Structure 1
Amino acid sequence: MEVAKAGEVIFEPEYDRASEIKAFDETKAGVKGLVDAGISEVPQIFHQPPDTFGETYVPSASRYSIPVIDLRRVEEDRSTRKSIVEEVRTASKEWGFFQIINHGIPVIVLEKMKASVHRFFEQDVELKKQFYTRDFTKKIIHNSNFHLFTAPAASWRDSICCIMAPDPPNPEELPEPLRDMMVEYTDRIISLGNLLFELISEALGLNPDHLLKIDCAKGLSQLCHYAPACPQPELTLGTSKHADNSFLTVLLQDHIGGLQVLHENQWIDVPPVPGALVVNIGDLLQASRRKLQLTIRFRTERLIDLFSDLSCFYFSFYRMTVL
């Protein structure tokens, strides 16, 4: 209800959120389907609460800057490795986030992986519908917003999650546009993840294999987000403020960026660095090692242009849990 200037009362149509969410989900077309239909206004289920945008934002050119760690020669030179371990320790403790370059995964592989994500989401909706589900016991889960029915506001994105370790689906079960690159990227990211857990173990003053021995790298899921250009980007977010309930997340951003980290009560940009991957220390690892205890929150903005990202989550178990 609103009160006009003249004093008359204006009654707005009642908003049936539950029905709108149900209708949206039943299309199985996601946010991409809304854009393809030519909408000019964002449905109310995607409107973020007003206080979402009231927090302080700091441009990336400020004195705050996400650490970028160069892994070149980390396996070849002891003094270099010692220096890198110290950088990892400082970044993990002070930020919980850092970017890595020269990590061993060729740029061409990263670009092909991003292209395969775009191909999946941009294919005909009927081909995507076969993977659309809210059964979180499945190894391949495609939908729009895992918490669609419980979150206060939906995020402007579609997603697909593939559980790739320790019991991955057969390659032929994976969506055709993702199949080859998902398998190759998984192999490469597992190798990189093992190295990262070694470096974090050493940064904690432990043996290099400590976190690996307690199965921090046992489970791996690949989560791909896709957010088409939004007609009213000021009303919604690609990913709302949250923390990862995993041991470690390795994130591949596209060139659009939009990722922000909450640091000292201010939102800081994580600008895309060509060939870089973003590493986030997850809640489970922080809980298991008090030396890393932080509350790391992040979100994704910038919905004016199409963006996508790919996150690899490490768990000690492999069934996806939606909180």
Structure 2
Amino acid sequence: MAMSSDRVTALKEFDDTKTGVKGLVDSGITSIPSIPSIFHHPKICLSIPTATHISIPTVDLSLPRPFAVDLIHSASRDWGIFQLINHGIPLSTIEDTISAVRSFHELPTTIRSQHYRRAHGATFMYYSNPDLFLSSAATWKDTVKVSFGPVQPEVDQIPEVCRSELVAWDEQVKEVARKVMGMMCEGLGVGPGRLEELTCLEGRTLAGHFYPPCPEPDRTLGSVAHTDVGVLTVLIQDEIGGLQVKSTRDECWIDVKPIPGALVVNVGDLLQIISNDEYKSVEHRVLANANNESRTSIAFFFNPGKREEVDLYGPLPELTSPDKPTCYRNLKMSEHAKAFLGKAIACNCITKHFKLPLDDKDI
């Protein structure tokens, strides 16, 4: 459905400020009766109930490896998400990383706006709503994006206020992801280095999200419901909360309650494909921030680094058999990108694009 000219004009005016949602809050948006209509979401998107009595699994990485492997396998299969504790990264490092991202978002507008851009290719980007001109409604969130691989980053492009912390975080989270991917592989019954052999640690992108206080949290969202399109996501969040995952069994949302020092790990669409549907990517969203203080979270996305036309990704051959036919066709990373680039985030569930028809599974 085409956008009205008034909406297109409003979106462009918002984007041209180059100061994001934080700029709206700084301008005194809380003193007017309503947030701008470009942020209004249909009530049906906000009305699904939240189950307060259910929690997502927690995995203690200090357990003996066989126990940790079993827990990671069951959580990835049944939930697609879990909280990871005793992973070896100090709480102070996590807090420093969150604080660094928050510090960038709280820079004066004249400095922050110098980094605002939508064109891809730079090591560092700052923007509000990557799908601003594609989605039916904007979300109450700003983001910094840092590309750490597979192309070597130009570290000097990262603002000094957060540079050292984000570069250090790349190294820290990569080592935890290496351990988790190894255990995920063991849970599938394949060699622990199988995902690493597929270069799944090499494509690395950080997204530092900032959710300013919202004067009308019942009219908008912080992030729309979506699945992550990559292999694995590792997220840290401050104590405010707001992240929710969708329970397909109970048709409700479940709060991912912050645990100090925990990492939130979730399966992406590409890992669901590689695991031949053994692991499931999870639908999740973020509520608009109803608190008086801004919320900060940092997602780290892992994807294959090899992206030539000859590099194919699909269900591992070890996971297919006459009893478990191949559920997906092999794909190139160019096809993977085409499946979600240029679309609204809410449409970004790529598994359906590469799912084989039932008859092809029986061939």
Residue 44 of structure 1 pairs with residue 37 of structure 2: yes
Q: Which residue of 1 aligns with 2:25?
A: 35
Is residue 140–residue 288 contact of structure 2 (8 Å, CA) maintained in 1? no
Is residue 204–residue 291 contact of structure 1 (8 Å, CA) maintained in 2? no
Tell me how far 1:47 sits from its aligned partner.
0.6
Tell me how far 1:85 sits from its aligned partner.
0.3
Q: Which residue of 1 aligns with 2:313?
A: none
Q: 2:297 is aligned with what amino acid? A: D
Q: 1:83 is aligned with what amino acid? A: F
Q: Which residue of 1 aligns with 2:78?
A: 94
Q: Distance in 2 between matches of 1:161 and 1:260?
A: 22
Gaps of 5+ in 1: 1-13, 74-79
Q: Which residue of 1 aligns with 2:214?
A: 230
Tell me how far 1:116 sits from its aligned partner.
0.4
Trace 1:119-198 onto structure 2 (pairs within 5 A): 119-198=103-182
Q: Distance in 1 between matches of 2:177 and 2:159?
A: 24
Residue 313 of structure 1 pairs with residue 301 of structure 2: yes
State, as a whole percentage, how many aligned pairs show the same letter.
Answer: 36
Q: Distance in 1 between matches of 2:48 and 2:71?
A: 29
Tell me how far 1:232 sits from its aligned partner.
0.7
SS at match of 2:218: helix
Is residue 97–residue 281 contact of structure 1 (8 Å, CA) maintained in 2? yes
Cα deviation digits, residues 33-92 of structure 1 (max 9, x gap): 000000132100011112101212211xx1x2100000015xxxxxx1001000011100
Aligned Cα root-mean-square deviation (Å): 1.7
Tell me how far 1:294 sits from its aligned partner.
3.0
Choose between structure 1 and 2 for higher RCO, CA contacts under 8 A separated by at least 6 residues: 1
Q: Distance in 2 between matches of 1:23 and 1:163?
A: 28
Q: Distance in 2 between matches of 1:15 and 1:259?
A: 33
Residue 20 of structure 1 pairs with residue 13 of structure 2: no
Q: 1:33 is aligned with what amino acid? A: G
SS at match of 1:19: helix
Q: Distance in 2 between matches of 1:130 and 1:89?
A: 44
SS at match of 1:142: strand
Trace 1:236-251 onto structure 2 (pairs within 5 A): 236-251=220-235
Tell me how far 1:293 sits from its aligned partner.
4.6
Q: Distance in 2 between matches of 1:68 and 1:120?
A: 31
Gaps of 5+ in 2: 308-332, 344-363
Residues matched between the structures, number: 301
TM-score, length of structure 1 as denominator length: 0.90
Is residue 258–residue 302 contact of structure 1 (8 Å, CA) maintained in 2? yes
Q: Which residue of 1 aligns with 2:59?
A: 69
Q: Which residue of 2 aligns with 1:292?
A: 278
Please, which moves more after superposition, 132-141 or 82-91? Answer: 132-141
Q: 2:65 is aligned with what amino acid? A: R
